[in-house]
Every structure is written in C-alpha cells, then in structure tokens.
Amino acid sequence: MTRTATARWLATGAAYGGGGVGIAGAALVALLHEEARAARRKVEARTDKSDPPSGDGVYGRGRGAPIVLTVLGDSSAVGLGVRRAAETPGVLVAAGLAELAERPVRLVRLAKSGARAADLDAQVDRALAEEPAVAVIMIGANDVTARTPTSVSVGHLTDAVRRLTAAGCEVVVGTCPDLGTIRPIAQPLRTLARRWSRQMAEAQTIAVVEAGGRSVSLGSLLGPAFASDATMFSVDEFHPSAAGYAAAAAVLLPSVADALHVWPAGADRGLRALRRDTVRPVARAAARAVNRPGTEVQPAAVAGSGTGPRGPWALLRRRRPTDMPTPDQAERAEASPTAVG
C-alpha cells in the first residue's frame, strides 16, 4: 500500500491504529514499553505543570468589532513550556493578525494541556458561543503517545472542523508535530514515534481539507529545526521554547490571515514555487505536505468541481513565514476595552 493510500485508509477509519507496527516479538514490545516509560518519567520530572497565562484579551486598535480568534487543542496550543502569555502561539498570532488586518483581534484560548482529539468536542461547544471568525487548532501529539487509533483521533478532528465551518468560522489546523525529534525518546521508539506522528499528520490533512478547513504542516517545518537546535525546546526537552512557539506561529499566521482575506497579495513573491500542478488529489497533497516545511493545504476546484476521480482536490501553497511580533511587542499590542470602538 502506498503512503498516500495508507494516509487515506487511516483518515477514513478503515484501519485500527492502536498497533500500527508489526510486532517482532515479546522482547521488542517490552523494550518499547520501557523506553516509553523512561521518556515519560524524564519529561514529567522536568515539566512545569502550570500553564502559562491565557493571554485572552483584545490586541491591536482600530474601529469596529474585534475579529474573534479562538485557539483550540493541546499543550502546544496552550504554549506549555513558557511563562509569559506573550510567548504563546495564540497571543503571537492574535497580535500579528491585528497588525495585518488593521483591526483589533479578540483572543479566546480554549486549548487545554493534555487534551486529545476527543476533547475537541467540548472545546468547540465553548468556541461556538464566542462566534469566532477564525479558529486555530493544534492537536494530535497526545493521541500519538497514547496510541489512540488514528481513525478515532482524526474522526474527532473532522467533527470539530465541520462544526466550526458550518457556523461560518474559518479553520486552520497545525498538524501533528514530528515526535521523532524528542530527545528523551530513545531508539527504536524514536523512529516509531516519527512514523506514527507523520501518519497522523497526513491523515489529519486529508480530514481537515475534506471538512472545509486548511492544514499547515508543523512537523515537517519544526522537525529539522528542533533536531538540530536545542534552543527550540523548553527545559523538559518535549515542549517547544519561546523560539519554538514563535516558529510555529510564523507559519500559522499567513494561513490565518489569508483565510480572512487580509494576507498581502505580494507577501509570497520570490519564493521558489511548487510545481505547476499544485492542485492535486487530497491524499497526494497530504503526502507531499508532510515533507514540505510550512506547507498549507486547502480545498480546491478543477473545472468547477471540488472532486475528481481520485477524491477531493486540494491546493498546496508554500508561504513565506512572516516576521512575528516579539513578546514585548505582543504585550504592547494588547488594547484596553476603551481603545476599541
């Protein structure tokens, strides 16, 4: 089975992901379990269990009602590993979006550390009450480490995206990061973690596009940087540092801004283009995106149809990561209620 076929198989629920790896014998299974326990102990011993401040509030100044941005997902969306709200991805994206849109942005962070895709249902309930214009979702790592069946995890993500888009909310999903970069994980578990997380990211991309959202590959962007640069990690060597979260926000913001039609048309000029056939069947697009740093995948149409003989069409885009506000600039961008009107 090809990788694109495998990704679609997982995304459509035909496979049970609880195993996902051929078992070579009891000794290998015991080794993998012990490596997982050792990595978990090391990470938990170093992790600051307290989440950073939410950063909820209004960023930027201008006339009119603020754009409502909701952030859903797990600890990567929370920003676990940093201490200042201004270092979290939600605040960085909100401050950057306010600058691009020249309008205030109201951030509502609903993500929870430890969340799995099954927890998105409750988060979406709360999000819909805020009537968001755009939602950013970062989820999947905890499902991989818990060995949640990929089809089950992606099914919950699909439901979340469909509910949000049905309410008129734009959705941008940062796909599962490359867990093979996590230093406390030893071999051979590290190789398996990379395989599992990449399978998750591909399946997520297919599901998100088919549900009407956009995906942005975080694993393929952050993996090489994290593997070679220890400053991208926080002290627990599992969660990103402030620099790591800024790198993630820098590739999410262009897609968020474009979804709201405030991304400058000339911002991506000068980038080496993808091949001319950037519109592809979604499964092929997902397989390519996981290997391309910061690639966005969104629904597309060919000859007026959103579906071809091999499934839905998808457009791949490479965007230039935007310059992000520094944490100090993000803090200064937070507006008082009287400054918005």
Number of Cα atoms under 13 Å in the Cβ half of residue 210: 24
236 classed as catalytic: yes
Q: Per DSSP, which regions of the chain are E strands?
A: 57-59, 67-73, 105-109, 134-138, 170-174, 214-216, 279-281, 296-299, 307-308, 311-317, 334-335
Catalytic residue among 74, 178, 236, 258: 236
CA geometry: angle at 7 spanning 11 and 160, to 5°?
30
Catalytic residue among 54, 75, 153, 241: 75
Distance CA(94)–CA(253), nearest Å, equals 9
Taking Cα atoms as reference points, which of 1, 13, 18 lies closest to residue 196?
18
Q: Is the peptide bond before 188 cis (omega within 30 degrees of 0)?
A: yes
Catalytic residue among 239, 241, 255, 258: 239
8-state DSSP, 235 = T
Taking Cα atoms as reference points, which of 274, 277, 270, 311 lies closest to residue 296?
274
* In contact, 295 and 222? CB cutoff 8 Å: no
Distance CA(220)–CA(198), nearest Å, equals 9
Distance CA(321)–CA(323), nearest Å, equals 7
239 classed as catalytic: yes
Distance CA(319)–CA(140), nearest Å, equals 23
Query: What are the catalytic residues?
Result: 75, 236, 239
